[in-house]
Amino acid sequence: MLQTRLRLLAGTGWALVLQALAFGVWHLGLGFTNTGHAGLVPAIASTIVHQSLLGLALGVLFERTRNLLVPTVVHVALNSMG
């Protein structure tokens, strides 16, 4: 729903980027990516980047198929892998 609204307001490219960032921030509570002893800020940034890349891929899937079931199935499959 967010991506569809953003597409109307800002265009497809910005909609993908903004929804991906929202996806990354939303999934921040899942745990931080291992950054060694770099500290909290790099761990947060790394997690948001990694989750945003996944959100971007899922957004592209939705954009190409116009079907929410496709990225949902991929998301569930990835979550099932651990």
CB burial readout 11-34, b (16+ within 10 A) else e: eeeebbbbbbbebbeebeeeebee
Q: What is the pLDDT along the chain (82 residues), one digit of tens a residue?
A: 899 999 999 999 999 999 999 999 998 876 665 566 677 888 888 889 999 999 999 999 999 999 999 999 999 999 899 7
pLDDT of residue 33: 56
Running DSSP on this structure, what letter comes out for residue 38? S
Q: Cite the DSSP H helix spans in the chain.
A: 2-10, 12-26, 40-65, 69-80
Boundaries of every domain in the chain: 2-80
Q: Which residue has tokens 């291992």?
A: 34
